[in-house]
Amino acid sequence: MAARRLSSLLYRSLAASSSSGSAPLLSSLGRSSGCGRSINRFSTAAAAEELIIPPVQINYTQNLINGQFVDAVSGKTFPTYDPRTGEVIAHVAEGDAEDINRAVAAARKAFDEGPWPRMTAYERSRILLRFADLVEKHSDELAALETWNNGKPYEQAAKSELPLFIRLFHYYAGWADKIHGLTVPADGDYHVQTLHEPIGVAGQIIPWNFPLVMFAWKVGPALACGNTIVLKTAEQTPLTALFVAKLFHEAGLPPGVLNIVSGFGPTAGAALASHMDVDKLAFTGSTDTGKIVLELAARSNLKPVTLELGGKSPFIVCEDADVDKAVELAHFALFFNQGQCCCAGSRTYVHERVHDEFLEKAKARAVRRVVGDPFKKGVEQGPQIDTEQFEKVLRYIRAGIKSNATLECGGDRFGSKGYFIQPTVFSNVQDDMLIAQDEIFGPVQSIFKFKDLDEVIRRANATRYGLAAGVFTRNLDTANTLTRALRAGTVWINCFDVFDAAIPFGGYKMSGIGREKGIYSLNNYLQVKAVITPLKKAAWL
């Protein structure tokens, strides 16, 4: 279906649902928190509304190996779900170790014998550009499929993530013919040069929270450098990767260069991480799983590994902040993508002089947050990805209540169907509480109070993570002090979640190894070779 036609159908559905006279998506009800104060709760009116079924055909549910869509060797399939309802969208081929073996063999042959690494870099660039153009043509359809399989707001997928996906491939297409080595001066009569060579077969494992964007972060630099790929999708969200892989072959990508296996971590993921014929591994996911991936890679052929892992990012609101703007940015930093973001600003540190005002306004903003069917226009928050994540977030909320943090609003499921959770705000959070230490990966904001910069630097850094941080201040000296003191791979000043294609992303400490995006990501997929040749009667050295 053409993208323009899909968009028309989808927004006709949106218009019909918004004019149906149904109850408002969100309202607040007073109820005692058990802590001697009134908190805000949310209605379940939206649960009774009819959900929009996107007009998208699901055509690709098999594994992609050597340019062909094929069933799993075992013949098994697994269901992929609509997180709005928990109902099955489609059944997808369940790849395991044998499917990984076949995919790696195809990628190895394509690298060792095929045309991809032997093409001129300009030819590779043109294929990447043609692919980006095809994605743009199908962007409405892909955004709808992403929302259906993941639960993120359609407007977010269509207006932010698909444009970023396209921009990333334009960016890496531009790099393809600009990767080169150096001529190096050396002591003695020698000509020395360095070659930057593709590393070979890249194994890649992507997560479910940003399926398309993570596909681009991994696949773009690997292909620009001339490698071949075996990519394992997250079992929760396999559909859009298979769709865009089909578009890649329409753009002229040779068979075997990009292979995709859908399956589970302990089977397909472990087989890929430990495969002796995979030359490099890239993983995005939880820190605990990252440790397993790293161990499997080390125990096999000691393949190099890049890891983009968990986070518990501080968002620091200084005493000179414009409170209204700080509240809105802190709200976005945490609640974006249902809180399912590795760099979410999940520890909101607020200076004591503005803390009380900030807290009241942050609570009011959370109560106003529109939760419901992510296909409906104006909805800010859809469901969590699946029942496991849904229950995990609710356990953390219960742990926060049990540890005597103050539940300001939310704290429960939203509606009676699907995996929706009320936007939740805690105050009086202490640094040793579970909700302050662990990555929740859900719509739960924890607000802390601090007195001065030395204190907040110490507390912000007192975590095993170091992925990102946010700072809200009007003082340049304060901003400079914090950016250098915070041990995090990204620090946003008076902004958050800026993911330009050229900006490197990655973590300190247990938030990962290496960097994604930008020029630094190319290093993950290149080998550096030194070539030394004696010079006879050189005119100069």
Look at residues 122, 257, 221 and name the one whose alpha carbon lies nearest to residue 178: 122
Look at residues 165, 164, 128, 139 and name the one whose alpha carbon lies nearest to residue 251: 128
Three-state DSSP class for 38?
A: strand
Burial class (CB in 10 A: 0-12, 13-18, 19+), 47: middle
Marked catalytic residue, from 308, 380, 408, 516: 308
DSSP 75-90: --EEEEEETTTTEEEE
In sequence order, which ranges of 408-490 are alpha helices (DSSP H)?
A: 434-437, 453-461, 476-485
Q: Measure the CA–CA gap between 514 and 45, rounded to whole angstroms.
A: 45
Catalytic, 308? Answer yes
CA distances from 494 to 2, 63, 88, 311 (A): 39, 43, 41, 19
524 contacts 306 by C-beta, under 8 angstroms: yes
| Eight-class DSSP state of 267 | I
CA-based diameter of the chain, in Å?
90
In sequence order, which ranges of 433-529 are alpha helices (DSSP H)?
A: 434-437, 453-461, 476-485, 518-522
Q: What's phi and psi for 301, nearest 5 deg?
A: -115, 20
Q: Measure the CA–CA gap between 306 and 513, rounded to whole angstroms.
A: 5
| Eight-class DSSP state of 265 | I
Amino acid at 534: P
Give the containing element (helix H, strand E) for 280. strand 280-284
Q: What helix, strand, coil percent values describe the chain, rounded to 5?
A: 40, 20, 35
Strand pairing report for 190-198 and 183-184: antiparallel
Give the containing element (helix H, strand E) for 122. helix 121-137
Give the containing element (helix H, strand E) for 41. strand 38-42
The total of other beta-carbon atoms located within 10 Å of residue 79's CB is 12
- Supply 512's token pair: 């990962």
- Polymer length in residues for the chain: 541
Q: CA-CA-CA-CA torsion for 491, 497, 499, 500, nearest 10 degrees? A: -80
Look at residues 138, 208, 188, 133 and name the one whose alpha carbon lies nearest to residue 166: 133
Active-site positions?
308
